């Protein structure tokens, strides 16, 4: 009885820790990742929350978004109002996943990469800044920003 419980716990641990080390695979086509990561469906409301949250996307340290109630938005990256008229979902996805694939010197952080990073703080180690589901949420939010 007890052994079975331990075995079940071990199997659960193995399953639960697997995705942390192996990120969902994706295929780059041109300057885009056309298919949603892990086949997930994004939710724009959750995406908006992730973009604004300082411990998650924290995008406003660098970007401006159409949120009049958010003071002090950054000027480091391009403004994101109307970004969906310049980039489609696949192009947005690639820029979030790892913008250095397009521009090796980029300042834009790689939100879906764990390899090749150094001195990552313990709380953020061995997991991407955003999960596959969260990337899809943010992509869906950005893909709705049509007004410049």
Partner 1 sequence: MSLAGRALAIALLALAGAAAAQEVKPGSAFLSPQMQRQQEDEARNPGWLWVEQGEELFSRREGAAPSCVSCHADPRQSLRGAAARYPQVDAASGKLMNLEGRIEQCRADRQKQPAFGYESQDLLGLTAYVASLSKGEPLAVSADGATKPFYEAGKAFYERRQGQLNLACTQCHDGLVGQKLRGDTISYGIGTGYPAYRLEWNGLGSLHRRLRACSLGVRATQFDYGSDEYLALELYLAVRAKGLALEAPGLRR
* List of residues contacting partner 1 (CB under 8 A): 60-62, 71-76, 100, 107, 109-110, 117-124, 129
Per-residue contact flags (x/-) with ligand HEC for residues 87 to 106, judged by CB under 6 A:
-----x--xx--x---x--x
Nearest to 34 by CA among 103, 136, 138, 141: 136
116: region left, alpha or beta (phi > 0 left; psi from -120 to 50 alpha): left
The dihedral built from the CA positions of residue 80, 71, 96 and 140, taken in this order, carries a sign that is: negative
Instruction: Find tokens 């950005």 and name the residue.
Output: 142
Report what 75 binds from partner 1, ligand HEC, none; CB cut-off 5-8 Å by kind.
partner 1
**Binding region for ligand HEC (CB under 6 A):** 51, 57-59, 61-63, 76-78, 80, 83, 86, 92, 95-96, 99, 103, 106-109, 111, 138, 142
């Amino acid at each position: 009885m007890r052994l079975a419980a331990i075995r079940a716990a071990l199997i659960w641990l193995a399953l639960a820790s697997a995705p942390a080390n192996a990120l969902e695979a994706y295929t780059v086509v041109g300057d885009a990742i056309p298919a949603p990561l892990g086949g997930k469906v994004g939710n724009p409301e959750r995406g908006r929350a992730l973009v604004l949250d300082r411990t998650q996307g924290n995008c406003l340290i660098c970007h401006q978004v159409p949120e009049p109630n958010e003071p002090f938005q950054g000027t480091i990256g391009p403004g994101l109002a109307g970004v969906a008229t310049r980039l489609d979902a696949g192009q947005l996805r690639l820029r979030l996943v790892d913008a250095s694939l397009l521009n090796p010197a980029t300042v834009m952080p790689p939100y879906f990469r764990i390899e090749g990073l150094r001195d990552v703080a313990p709380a953020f180690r061995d997991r991407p800044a955003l999960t596959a589901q969260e990337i899809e949420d943010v992509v869906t939010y950005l893909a709705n920003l049509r007004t410049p």
